[in-house]
Amino acid sequence: MDPLKGILRNSSMLIAAQAVSSAIGMLLLVLFPRFLGDAEFGRLHLALSLAMMFAVGAEFGLPPVVARAVSQRRSLARPYLVTAVRISLGLGVILYAALLALTVALGYPPRVRVLTAILGVMIFGEALAQVLSAVFQAHERLLIPALARIAANTVVLAIVAPLLWAGRGAATVATVIVAGALARVAIQTLALRGLEGFRVRPVGETDWRGLLASGWPFLVGQALGIVYFRMDVVMLGRLATDAAVGWYGVTSRLVEALTFVPNLLTMATFPVAARLWLAGPTEFRTTIRQTLHVLLVVTMPVAVILLTLAREIIDLLFTLKAFGPAVPILRVHAVTLVLIFVDFYLGGILMAIGRERAWIRIAGIACVLSPALNWMLIPVAAARLGNPGIGAAMSTLTIELLIMVSALRLFPRGALGRESLQVALRAVAAASVMGGIVLLARALAAPWMVAAALGGLGYLALVMHVGILPPALARWLRRRLPGGRARATSLTSS
């Protein structure tokens, strides 16, 4: 089978499942700010950001190590998983204590410290969920972790919605979030027995020292990445008001809710890239290039919608009265979204082919630049624009651009090139036309959802016309568009 078809087949199932999960997550994202208010939501978002920064340490970079090893040798599944779980639990205890100590040392108010103590349990839940997901990823069975996330989010929504309606606060919300994370771990654990790696004879015990030695480069890279992604929230928490953190938080969470697209595509590509890098260099280059092209084509219209309809989206989800300052922040994030999607994919491929140490250097530079840029730009944006979140957003945009340039220089020679540049330029041109259609429709008083639909149709027509999709995927789409061939043909048989 064509590797790209396998990746897209797996990704399509995952995206469908994740779309359901994200819809539930979006409902939660809407409920939290509306019922808690900007300041209380800001405190919740700050505490969650702190907890997630420490959760990466408990993973110790083990998920990609487990995924890469088990994808090449199924019999390693049980010993690698057992050892990884033991390491994560041990590190989790240490990191939870460190998290509590940090909130005291930094002088956070008692309400933030309480929320951090509750959400700190996510250190264990998130680390275990990621390790378990790595085993399913290695077996190319990513639908199960996606379904587990759906079930967990459904539990959280069913419990937290009536509690918010009854007037319960952020501490109750934090407790329910933790319960959902633990439920996700339990569901994945129950599904392990169906995997091939757990039906074969295990190879024996895995040396935890060797696993730690393999995982630390990934740990450093992931830790630097999460610190970089959460640093803007931490800096805002120190330099601005709780309300400003809340304005920034709703836009950040909205963008994070959309990152499932590069996340799932990268997860589906990771084991394929790791295998082809050794077994078929030519096929590797073709697969990686075409997968990136698909990601670019999918990303552009999302960014256009956020950029052109930011005001309408914020009003619908959070109300302009309470979160009006989030509109310009979301517009900056819309441009950054394209860079984040591409950088996420490039970093995943670099780790799949064993270039994680070089990726660490890029992440390290980003972590140094992030606090420096935030420290400079947040006060400037607060003084000149009355919105410190714009400064934090501009900091992220600048650093993501630098990350993309650096990652492209690390890519294998010939994997990307003039063809990928042409695809990117054509996708940008098509997205510009889409933006023009949306703005014109709004100027003619069309409802914003109608304007978005018209722009999307125009974008799809241009993409098909200029031929920037991989041929197999383009043929598959044409057969399903109005006027295309009625014959039903699956992607795998295209």
pLDDT tens across 268-278, in order?
676 677 777 77
Separation of alpha carbons 493 and 478, rounded Å:
15
**Is residue 103's pLDDT more than 70?**
yes
Render pLDDT for 380-399 as a digit per residue (tens, 0 to 9).
999 999 899 999 999 999 99
CB contact at 8 A, 264 and 14: yes
User: Bridge-partner residues for 288, per DSSP?
Assistant: none
Measured N-to-C along each axis, helices 170-190 and 143-165 cross at an angle, to the nearest 10 degrees, of 150
Domain locations in the chain?
A: 3-416, 419-494
Q: Which residues contact 343 (CB under 8 A, 6 or more apart)?
A: 400, 403, 404, 407
Separation of alpha carbons 374 and 357, rounded Å:
26
CB contact at 8 A, 332 and 390: yes
Task: Provide the CA 296 distance to its chain's centre, in angstroms.
Answer: 15
- pLDDT-derived band at 141 (thresholds 50, 70, 90) equals confident
What is the value of pTM for the model shown? 0.66
For the purposes of burial, counting CB atoms within 10 Å of the CB of 134, is it exposed (0-12), middle (13-18) or buried (19 or more)? buried
Q: Which of 31, 61, 56 is nearest to 44 (CA)?
A: 31
Q: Which residues contact 255 (CB under 8 A, 6 or more apart)?
A: 333, 336, 337, 340
Render pLDDT for 274-310 as a digit per residue (tens, 0 to 9).
777 777 777 777 777 878 888 888 889 999 999 999 9
